[in-house]
Amino acid sequence: MKNPQAAVRIVEVGPRDGLQNIKEPVPTSVKIELVRRLRDSGLRTIELTSIVSPRAVPQLADCREVLGHADIKRLHNEQENRLPVLVPNLKGLNIAIDSGVREVAVFISATEGFSKANINCSVADGIERAGNVVQKALSRGLAVRGYVSCIFADPSGSPTDPSAVLQCVKALLGMGCYEVSLGDTVGVGCPTQVRNLLSYLVHNDVPVTRLAGHFHDTHGHAAVNAWEAYHCGIRVFDSSIAGLGGCPFAPGSKGNVATEDLVFMFHKAGIDTGVNLARLVKTGTWISRNLQTIRSAGQLLPDQSNRRLSGHAPTRTWSLQGKKSRVSIYRSDGNVKLVLNRVKTGNTITQKMINHMTTLIDQCNSDDTIHSIAITGSGQFFCMGVEYGNESASPKESDELKAFTKLLDLIDKSPKTTIACINGPAFGAGVCLALSCKIRIAVKAATLTMGEAKWTASSSPAVTPRREATILARPVTTSKLKSLGIVEQVVNGRDALDDSLEGALRSAQLGTRVTDRKPSATHDHPMSHVVSSSHKHNWMDVVMEVWHREA
């Protein structure tokens, strides 16, 4: 067989094949985040889940919730993505169709024993069932991918006759499957067996371009088997992030070949996969920690990735998740960034923006996959206040102010690390928005100004007497606020602010604080209690301390 140097396509099966054998329930939010991270790594084909009986595979009982999630639906709408869902029967297919799935996968076993254990029927009956699913799926405009299990042996150890594999492959292709994945389900194959089987299939008129390799790593042969398959003409390979996997119906079988190892191998050989290895490695580390599993992928890959990243903070890639009510939502790994987009009005906040941000912050607060929330503005201003829609109502009584106060308290009490990226001047409510965040970083040119007013407040409704202070409309520089411990870092320009945000996000993930102050910078300072106010008290207390004293 010829061995042309050509790119390969990776089919990520971690969210389905990788998770299905894990006993402890994996939260649906973690599954959604895993898919998002895999897609952000450059993977275009990701098997989402399997629509099976919860009794058979409890881990995938939330398949409908996964498929119905807004993030998954958004990925379905991106035409370059292939997001197959495994369906064992017509009932599962109907659920997939109702969920808006564009591609499904069917499977049959090449051995009678595994067919009985897996789907409780003979191989012939399994082929018939798959045919019924494929026929209806194609009639509804869905693409269909096929799997053949146990291409070398079944869990009992009985070797599989190559003619049985041929029968299954031809049946699936004949039904209309665009591709058939050959699965070494129990991971017993070796490179010689891979070459012999593929040679046999090609000799019997099976196009190698319609085949994919699916190798498990029970005996450590998965990567070399994939390499051998590549040299036999295979250009599509199934793999699982962090080497997760194992079949519930094949005791003792280990996970799929690790996606990280497969991508690393091909990249070292100069073969393109379209995948960002550094991001992929981070995803593997992340899911391994979430599942508290031992990472099956190459142990040196995370170290190599960290060494490459340690010289200088890289430009973080933020993926736009949506725009609504002049607020843009971006995401990067476990971080969310909200950007105010009313440049012509200095990013003043409307009632709709307040409501939308309140919903977003509330969702982030309850999402276990998110650990940091950053807030910043577009253009030259951070936020120049709240835009009051009802001119007859005083600001004190307005609906906007009540809703905005609720938003500030939600940010102030957030269990996440909240970061204000003060990209320019802030006024009034914009100052309060910045101070409601746990960490504040700012450009040197920014000033924070409160409107003149008389405030009455206390840290707790139970505290009496309540404190009163006159707040004067005097601008305070970010450098002054930094000296008081209110602002963590002051930098020159927007680019430096982005770098500072990167450092804050990394520190938040590590559980440390970002600061360029010396430890004793505010010790014994006459306003050192303001530092504690900024982290132990609410935003209102900080305003009363700083602007009252500045007056």
What average pLDDT does the structure give for the chain?
83
> What is the pLDDT averaged over residues 125-130?
94
Q: What is the pLDDT of residue 146?
A: 98
| % of the chain residues with pLDDT over 90 | 53
Round the CA-based radius of gyration of the chain to a whole number and report it: 28
Return the minimum-mean-pLDDT range out of 34-38, 175-179, 426-430, 511-515.
511-515
**What tens digit of pLDDT does each residue of 210-235 get?**
999 999 988 888 999 999 999 999 99
Q: For the chain, give me the number of helices (H) and strands (E)? A: 19, 20
- The helix or strand, by DSSP H or E, that contains position 115, with its residue range, turns out to be helix 112-119
Residue 521 in this model has a pLDDT that exceeds 70: no
Return the minimum-mean-pLDDT range out of 12-26, 77-91, 153-167, 245-259.
245-259
Q: What is the pLDDT of residue 115?
A: 76
Q: CB of 238 within 8 A of CB of 200?
A: no
Q: Tokens standing for 186?
A: 């129990």
Q: What is the pLDDT of residue 50?
A: 96
> What is the pLDDT averaged over residues 130-156?
95
The Cα–Cα gap between 517 and 21 comes to 49
> What is the pLDDT averaged over residues 529-550?
50
**What tens digit of pLDDT does each residue of 99-119 get?**
999 999 999 999 887 877 777
Residue 307 in this model has a pLDDT that exceeds 50: no
Residue 381 in this model has a pLDDT that exceeds 50: yes
Of 363, 352, 434, the residue nearest 400 (C-alpha): 352
> What is the pLDDT averaged over residues 489-508?
83
**Residue keyed to tokens 């799929």:** 256
Q: What is the pLDDT of residue 528?
A: 31
Of 172, 96, 161, 108, the residue nearest 134 (C-alpha): 172
> Which H, E and C letters describe 45-99, residue by residue?
EECCCECCCCCCCHHHCCHHHHHHCHHHHHHHCCCCCECCEECCCHHHHHHHHHC
Residue 444 in this model has a pLDDT that exceeds 60: yes
The Cα–Cα gap between 409 and 539 comes to 8
CA 231 from centroid of its chain's CA atoms: 34
**Residue keyed to tokens 């200088």:** 312
Q: What is the pLDDT of residue 547?
A: 60
Q: What is the pLDDT of residue 299?
A: 52
Phi/psi region, residue 255 (left: phi>0; alpha: psi -120 to 50; beta: rest), is beta
The Cα–Cα gap between 65 and 73 comes to 11
Q: CB of 40 within 8 A of CB of 75?
A: no
Neighbours of 440 (CB within 10 A): 24
Q: What is the pLDDT of residue 544?
A: 59
The Cα–Cα gap between 491 and 403 comes to 32
The Cα–Cα gap between 301 and 333 comes to 19
Residues in the chain: 551
Q: What is the pLDDT of residue 245?
A: 80
In the three-class reduction of DSSP (H, G, I as helix; E, B as strand; rest coil), residue 263 is classed as helix
The Cα–Cα gap between 419 and 487 comes to 11
Specify which of 80-94, 255-269, 284-298 reaches the highest per-range mean pLDDT.
Answer: 80-94
* Phi, psi (degrees; rounded to nearest 5) at 262: -65, -45
Residue 512 in this model has a pLDDT that exceeds 70: no
In the three-class reduction of DSSP (H, G, I as helix; E, B as strand; rest coil), residue 339 is classed as strand
Of 240, 279, 282, 285, the residue nearest 261 (C-alpha): 240
Compute the Cα dihedral for 160, 163, 168, 173 and give only its sign.
positive
Q: What is the pLDDT of residue 511?
A: 55
Q: How many CA atoms lie within 13 A of 252 on its CB side?
A: 8
Q: Tokens standing for 165?
A: 């594999």
Which residues are known to be catalytic? 247
9-309 belongs to which CATH class?
A: alpha beta
Q: Which residues contact 32 (CB under 8 A, 6 or more apart)?
A: 66, 69, 71, 72, 369
> What is the pLDDT averaged over residues 76-100?
95
> What is the pLDDT averaged over residues 445-458?
67
Residue 12 in this model has a pLDDT that exceeds 50: yes
> Looking at the DSSP assignment, which residues form a beta bridge with residue 470?
454
> Which H, E and C letters describe 164-227, residue by residue?
HHHHHHHHHHHHCCCEEEEEECCCCCCHHHHHHHHHHHHHCCCCHHHEEEEEECCCCCHHHHHH
| % of the chain residues with pLDDT over 70 | 79
**Residue keyed to tokens 């042996």:** 153
> What is the pLDDT averaged over residues 158-185?
96
Residue 312 in this model has a pLDDT that exceeds 80: no
The pLDDT-based confidence of 310 (bands split at 50, 70, 90) is very low
Q: What is the pLDDT of residue 509?
A: 66
Q: Tokens standing for 43?
A: 């993977």
The Cα–Cα gap between 29 and 26 comes to 8
Residue 462 in this model has a pLDDT that exceeds 70: no
Two domains, one topology: 9-309 and 319-550 = no
Q: What letter would DSSP give residue 297?
A: S
Q: Tokens standing for 466?
A: 């309540």
**Residue keyed to tokens 């914009």:** 430
Q: What is the pLDDT of residue 399?
A: 72
Q: CB of 348 within 8 A of CB of 386?
A: yes
The Cα–Cα gap between 433 and 435 comes to 6
> What is the pLDDT averaged over residues 450-471?
50
**What tens digit of pLDDT does each residue of 321-373 get?**
888 888 999 998 889 999 999 988 999 999 999 999 999 999 999 988 898 99
Domain 319-550 falls under CATH 3.90.226.10: yes
Instruction: Provide the whole-model pTM.
Output: 0.59
Return the minimum-mean-pLDDT range out of 80-84, 315-319, 364-368.
315-319
Residue 551 in this model has a pLDDT that exceeds 80: no
Q: Tokens standing for 266?
A: 């091909």
Q: Tokens standing for 58?
A: 């409890």
Phi/psi region, residue 180 (left: phi>0; alpha: psi -120 to 50; beta: rest), is beta
Of 309, 439, 313, the residue nearest 372 (C-alpha): 439
Burial label, 314 (beta-carbon count in 10 A; 0-12, 13-18, 19+): exposed
Return the minimum-mean-pLDDT range out of 87-96, 150-159, 290-299, 482-491.
290-299
Q: Which residues contact 533 (CB under 8 A, 6 or more apart)?
A: 541, 542, 545
Per-domain residue ranges for the chain?
Answer: 9-309, 319-550
